[in-house]
Amino acid sequence: MLGAGAGDEIDQIGCVIRMNNAPTRGFEKDVGSHTNVRVVSHTTVPLLVKKERYYFKQSADTTYVFWGPYRNMREDGGGIIFNVLLKLALRYPKVKMYVVTRDKIQYCDTVFQNETGKNRLLSYKYRVLTDCATGVCSKRS
């Protein structure tokens, strides 16, 4: 994307989805500045926390969709990443944050398996989770 100069065009799109901590600040000319949905892996949450004011205060109009393995996303107090997200949600109550459920992850894995013939966990391909999360844009419109 660097050097493409597509920032204005991207900002005109009705729903801009970004992955993990993909930067926009300093790259607006090429990637735009607007983000409707940010799909975030459990492994990236600590990176967002390091710059939490940027991601959750300045970008308060962004909807966040977090996903990860059940062991990290458990809601019973045992999910380390879920606990971090809960604290963030309390600190930034206006930010829309969603966690992909265990059932939805399994559904997305099935979609990926059916469409590609490959096991997502073995192929390290996470596109299917982005595809499943795009339903958020449809619901926002």
Note the pLDDT tens digit of each residue in 113-127.
888 888 877 765 554
Cα separation, 84 vs 1, in Å, equals: 31
Its domain, for residue 80, covers: 1-99
Picking from 124, 126, 136, the residue whose alpha carbon sits closest to that of residue 67 is 126
63 found inside a domain: yes
- What average pLDDT does the chain have? 85
State whether 9 and 73 are in the same domain: yes
Number of domains present in the structure of the chain: 2
Distance, first Cα to last Cα, the chain: 26
Note the pLDDT tens digit of each residue in 36-90.
999 999 999 999 999 998 888 876 689 999 999 889 999 999 999 999 999 999 9
State whether 21 and 85 are in the same domain: yes
